[in-house]
Chains A and B, each alone.
Chain A
Amino acid sequence: MSNIFECRQLVKKYGNLTALSGLNLEIEPGKIVGLLGPNGSGKTTLIKLIAGLLRPTSGRLLVNESEIGIKTKEIVSYLPERNYIPKYLKVRQIIDYFDDFYKDFNREKAEGMIKSLSIDPDKKIKSLSKGNLEKVQLILVMSREAKLYLLDEPIAGVDPAARDYILNTIITNYNPEASIIISTHLISDIENILDDVIMIKTGSLVMAGNADDIRAQYQKSIDELFREVFKC
């Protein structure tokens, strides 16, 4: 089976700062992958490169065997770490927007989830609470039947109840044949749902592999291992 994502000798520099230095990775279809690392380790840079928001300085990056472009954007569903929906739009209008541009967007599913949260579709994005805004963004992303989901810090900055909702939405809504890359440093909350783990530090790979195998090898939870590896 071909990889849904792979990169070879991937380097990204911002001026003199090297965010990623020669990264080699492969991700198979049907996996939930935790992209773990402390702040500034290069997690968001890697995700932005896959989403097509940044261009690599050097190296190769393939999604479903294609270079980053329209073909990959059609099958990648991306949740940034920030609020990216125009604030003047209503919830209904951003659903229209996704429906217009993404062939794999399931409108009924999105509207159903919005309704189940009792969010008024005619409410403007700017009037939503932080928790509800995070949920609306996640609903839009997870309502696509994509092949690769990129979730950048999906549970950061929300209360524990919202965190449960977000994780539950991820698990119950993703296409089982697709892969999910979840970037986070809040490992204990997501450890149980991860199939694979990728740990990066200052742009270099520290560890990558099956979560169960890593736990068995080190006799530690991923959270404990993370604290040990990235001890300050």
Chain B
Amino acid sequence: MLGKLIKHEFKATARLFIPIFILVTAITVAVRFLADILHDINYDGTKSGEIFSMIIAFIFGAALVIGIICLILSGPAVSLYRFYKNVYTDEGYLTNTLPVKPVSILASKLITGIVWTIISGVIVALCYCIFVTSSKISLFTVDYDDINNSAYISALFDFISDNIWFIISFMIFGLISVIMSISSVYVSVSIGNLVNRHKVLISLVVYFCLTIVLGMAIGIILVLAGTDIYETNRVFENTETFKLSGEYTVMMWVYSAVLFIISLIELFVTHLIMKHKLNLA
């Protein structure tokens, strides 16, 4: 049944994510080509033409920034909307009467949310790639001569191989951060459902309180674990090869472990509420 739940969850959320992906990618392509066109225009010294092109560039640039922010926030935001609507409102009458365990419902939504958030990240990277392939945009672009230089590529591979554990731990940390952002949303919505009135307001209050309290708790735990970033004296072990200090890798693992435990607790509480305290009044 989990497979079927995931299938229907993907279908239901695709209609929300796909338009965002298409829109942001289209804006990125438009900005990239517009920048090329504006760069090539010869204004013949007319000030008004230049100002007009700057305004156009600003509007499209702002649209792109807003689009990218929407894309980054879309994972947790859609997870919030979907979980609340599909479990605790009218749609919950269908979801919660299916012959499936609450843990399957929760798992299907979590897995789908993680996958969409990762895809959002890939789309952000894609948009960046579209942007930097313009040789006429000075901002964020790389020098192609450098890329073609074998020394540059060799240095890049050296950096990756020297810091492979840090890169792996950073990716795991990223994945666990996604799980925690979604599980925080789920537990807040579920606690909000326990009251009979102002459920959305209570959910928001719980979410903000939880974020602040957990942020402080995580900071304290990291300091107690001796992995405070501000106490790390050396950034690089080897300044010639840019090998990062091993303390950063340790810090990533400790940070990931703390976030993972918090996520498990949040998911456990969410499951308890769904199983024993469902309140579709």
Q: Is the CB of B99 within 8 A of A14?
A: no
Nearest to A70 among chain B residues (CB) is: B99
For B11, the chain A residues whose CB sits under 8 A away are 93
In the bound assembly, the distance between CA atoms of A74 and B98 in angstroms comes to 8
For A161, the chain B residues whose CB sits under 8 A away are none
For A14, the chain B residues whose CB sits under 8 A away are 196, 281
Q: Contacts A84-B91, A100-B4, A100-B8; is A53 near B280 (CB within 8 Å)?
A: yes
In the bound assembly, the distance between CA atoms of A82 and B100 in angstroms comes to 22
Q: Is the CB of A53 within 8 A of B93?
A: yes
For B91, the chain A residues whose CB sits under 8 A away are 84-86
The listed residue with most A CB atoms (<10 A of its CB), out of B1, B92, B99, B279, is B99
Interfacial residues, chain B to chain A (CB-CB below 8 A): 1, 4, 7-8, 11-12, 15, 86, 90-94, 96-101, 196, 276-281
Nearest Cβ distance between residue B105 and chain A, in whole angstroms?
Answer: 11
* Extra contacts besides A53-B93, A86-B94 (13): CB < 8 Å: A14-B281, A51-B97, A52-B97, A53-B96, A70-B100, A78-B97, A84-B92, A86-B86, A86-B91, A88-B15, A101-B4, A101-B99, A102-B99
Could you write out 21 A-B pairs with CB less than 8 Å apart? A52-B278, A53-B97, A54-B278, A54-B279, A54-B281, A70-B99, A70-B100, A73-B97, A74-B99, A76-B97, A78-B93, A80-B93, A83-B90, A84-B90, A85-B91, A86-B86, A97-B8, A100-B4, A100-B8, A101-B98, A101-B99
A55 in the interface, Cβ–Cβ < 8 Å?
yes
In the bound assembly, the distance between CA atoms of A101 and B94 in angstroms comes to 11
**Cβ contact of A73, chosen from B4, B86, B99, cutoff 8 A:** B99
In the bound assembly, the distance between CA atoms of A70 and B98 in angstroms comes to 8
Nearest Cβ distance between residue B239 and chain A, in whole angstroms?
Answer: 56
Q: Is the CB of A86 within 8 A of B12?
A: yes
Q: Is the CB of A70 within 8 A of B101?
A: yes
In the bound assembly, the distance between CA atoms of A84 and B87 in angstroms comes to 11
Nearest to B93 among chain A residues (CB) is: A84
For B96, the chain A residues whose CB sits under 8 A away are 52-53
For A93, the chain B residues whose CB sits under 8 A away are 11
Nearest Cβ distance between residue A122 and chain B, in whole angstroms?
Answer: 16
A48 in the interface, Cβ–Cβ < 8 Å?
yes
Chain A interface bracket (under 10, 10 to 19, 20 to 34, 35 or more): 20 to 34
For B97, the chain A residues whose CB sits under 8 A away are 51-53, 73, 76, 78
Interfacial residues, chain A to chain B (CB-CB below 8 A): 14-15, 48, 51-55, 70-71, 73-74, 76, 78, 80, 82-86, 88, 93, 97, 100-102
Nearest to B90 among chain A residues (CB) is: A84
In the bound assembly, the distance between CA atoms of A54 and B281 in angstroms comes to 8
In the bound assembly, the distance between CA atoms of A110 and B126 in angstroms comes to 45
In the bound assembly, the distance between CA atoms of A229 and B279 in angstroms comes to 31
Q: Is the CB of B92 within 8 A of A101?
A: no
Q: Is the CB of B279 within 8 A of A15?
A: no
Q: Is the CB of B278 within 8 A of A55?
A: yes
Q: Is the CB of B8 within 8 A of A54?
A: no
For B15, the chain A residues whose CB sits under 8 A away are 88
**Cβ contact of A48, chosen from B8, B12, B86, B280, cutoff 8 A:** B280
For B7, the chain A residues whose CB sits under 8 A away are 100
Nearest Cβ distance between residue A156 and chain B, in whole angstroms?
Answer: 16
In the bound assembly, the distance between CA atoms of A55 and B278 in angstroms comes to 7
Nearest Cβ distance between residue B10 and chain A, in whole angstroms?
Answer: 13
Nearest Cβ distance between residue B135 and chain A, in whole angstroms?
Answer: 43
In the bound assembly, the distance between CA atoms of A93 and B11 in angstroms comes to 10
In the bound assembly, the distance between CA atoms of A116 and B12 in angstroms comes to 28
Nearest Cβ distance between residue B191 and chain A, in whole angstroms?
Answer: 16
Nearest to B277 among chain A residues (CB) is: A55
In the bound assembly, the distance between CA atoms of A97 and B276 in angstroms comes to 25
Nearest Cβ distance between residue A66 and chain B, in whole angstroms?
Answer: 12
Q: Is the CB of B94 within 8 A of A54?
A: no
In the bound assembly, the distance between CA atoms of A157 and B220 in angstroms comes to 58
For B4, the chain A residues whose CB sits under 8 A away are 100-101
Nearest Cβ distance between residue A27 and chain B, in whole angstroms?
Answer: 19
Q: Is the CB of B94 within 8 A of A85?
A: yes
Query: Ordered nearest first, which 5 A-B pairs have the shortest CB separation?
Result: A84-B93, A73-B99, A74-B99, A53-B280, A80-B93
For B12, the chain A residues whose CB sits under 8 A away are 86, 88
In the bound assembly, the distance between CA atoms of A15 and B279 in angstroms comes to 11
For A100, the chain B residues whose CB sits under 8 A away are 4, 7-8
Q: Is the CB of B278 within 8 A of A101?
A: no
Nearest to A83 among chain B residues (CB) is: B90
For B281, the chain A residues whose CB sits under 8 A away are 14, 54
Nearest Cβ distance between residue B85 and chain A, in whole angstroms?
Answer: 8
In the bound assembly, the distance between CA atoms of A52 and B280 in angstroms comes to 10
